[in-house]
Structure 1
Amino acid sequence: MTHPHTDDILQRLEALEIKASFTEDLLDQLNLTIYQQQQLIDQLTREVIQLRQQVPENAAQGPRNLRDEIPPHY
């Protein structure tokens, strides 16, 4: 027969082990989420850089003239 105090300690230990296991799983999920978000941030950063390279340099100098953007058939 085990001592009641020992049973209480074993139950508490088992509860802590379960919590630790769930915490490890959650940490793994969070790490994966952070990794995926960083991959997306890196991809979006590359796309922004590419888009900036495509913008004509004079576009950043001031307001556009809408007449310059009228298609030739007008």
Structure 2
Amino acid sequence: MEDLENRITELEIQTALQADLIDSLSSTLAKMQQELDLQQGQLRLLYQRINDKGSQGGAEPYSLRDEIPPHY
């Protein structure tokens, strides 16, 4: 009977540890999703700026060479 109680106690400990791990992973995943959303927003903004700069120039397409500092 004592062996059965020890096994049940061990299973309860494992279950508690797994629940803690799942909570930790869920929290980490939520943070990563927030970072990904932020990065996608920044990428959209940069893409929009590139498109806006290209459309302002008239017939010439936007080029990264236009961004080279004058001392190069």
TM-score by length of 1: 0.73
Counterpart in the other structure of 2:35: 40
| Pairs aligned (count) | 61
5+ residue gaps, structure 1, are 1-5
Q: Which has the larger radius of gyration?
A: 1
Q: Which amino acid aligns with 1:30?
A: L
2:9 pairs, out of 10, 14, 32, with 14
User: Relative contact order, CA 8 A, sep 6+: which one is greater?
Assistant: 2
TM-score by length of 2: 0.74
**CA RMSD between the two structures:** 2.1
Counting aligned pairs with the same residue, the percent is: 26
